[in-house]
């Protein structure tokens, strides 16, 4: 990129900062875009512009949406009384791809972390407690990561909801679909064994 023109270099730099991209793949993308102005560059520009103008956090669940309150929160069919607590929007999208859960969400925006000084107030936990109380929710499903911080956060939420009349559940732990025991870590195997069920 030694002698590449400045505007093109600036775009490459911007793209190279995105997750999963480096200078090499960014250069390839820039060439691809410039060589296809009408099929690729302009449609991408228009799509990016619309997102920049409209994307916002859902005031209710914290999902990313183009509306003040997201499509999931406003969908009356999803008022099942179940709310699924996730760490971030990526996890919400992953749950939606599973297409099994038909309730609503609550995005924490992270997990409790003493090291990173993330406390309950940073995490929309007070909002969750208020929501459970105000909406009279039936079940809170904790879909938090199976990490130390994730499980600490799950316990903290269970405590915070201690005085509220609501069922608290968590995602099952066990052998993932297609998982071969030989390639699984010991922790997963122990958890699957402890949670064994009648067959």
Q: Which of 59, 61, 62, 66 binds a copy of itself (CB under 8 A)?
A: 66
Q: How are beta strands 64-65 and 167-170 bridged, if at all? A: unpaired
76 binds a copy of itself per the rule CB under 8 A: no
Tell me how far, at minimum, the Cβ of 158 lies from a copy of itself, in Å.
Answer: 27
DSSP H or E segment with residue 39: none
Q: 88 or 127, CB closer to a copy of itself? A: 88
Positions in 94-133 near a copy of itself (CB under 8 A): 96-97, 99
17 binds a copy of itself per the rule CB under 8 A: yes
Structure tokens at 45: 């520009």
- 41 CB-near residues (< 8 Å, 6+ apart): 33, 34
Q: How are beta strands 56-57 and 64-65 bridged, if at all? A: antiparallel
Backbone angles phi, psi at 45, to 5 degrees: -60, -45
CA-to-CA dists, residue 48 to 60, 117, 191, angstroms? 25, 33, 43
**Stretch of residues binding a copy of itself (CB under 8 A), selected from 44-52, 136-144, 151-159, 162-170:** 44-52
Q: 43 or 81, CB closer to a copy of itself? A: 43
168 binds a copy of itself per the rule CB under 8 A: no
**Is there a contact between 151 and 129 (Cβ–Cβ < 8 Å)?**
no
Residues contributing to the site for a copy of itself (CB under 8 A): 1-8, 10-11, 13-15, 17-21, 25, 27-35, 37, 40-45, 47-52, 54-55, 64-67, 70-72, 88-90, 93, 96-97, 99
């Amino acid at each position: 990129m030694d002698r590449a023109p400045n505007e093109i270099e600036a775009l490459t730099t911007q793209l190279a900062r995105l997750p999963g991209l480096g200078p090499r793949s960014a250069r390839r993308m820039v060439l691809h875009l410039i060589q296809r102005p009408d099929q690729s560059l302009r449609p991408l520009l228009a799509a990016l512009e619309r997102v920049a103008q409209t994307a916002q956090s859902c005031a209710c669940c914290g999902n990313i949406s183009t509306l003040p309150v997201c499509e999931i929160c406003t969908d009356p069919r999803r008022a099942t009384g179940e709310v699924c607590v996730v760490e971030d929007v990526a996890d919400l999208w992953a749950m939606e791809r599973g297409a099994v859960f038909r309730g609503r969400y609550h995005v924490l925006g992270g997990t409790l972390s003493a090291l990173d000084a993330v406390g309950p107030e940073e995490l929309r936990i007070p909002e969750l407690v208020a929501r459970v109380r105000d909406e009279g929710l039936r079940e809170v499903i904790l879909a938090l990561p199976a990490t130390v911080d994730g499980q600490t956060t799950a316990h903290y939420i269970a405590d915070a909801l201690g005085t509220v009349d609501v069922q608290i559940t968590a995602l099952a732990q066990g052998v993932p679909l297609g998982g071969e025991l030989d390639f699984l870590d010991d922790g997963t195997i122990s958890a699957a064994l402890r949670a064994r069920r009648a067959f």
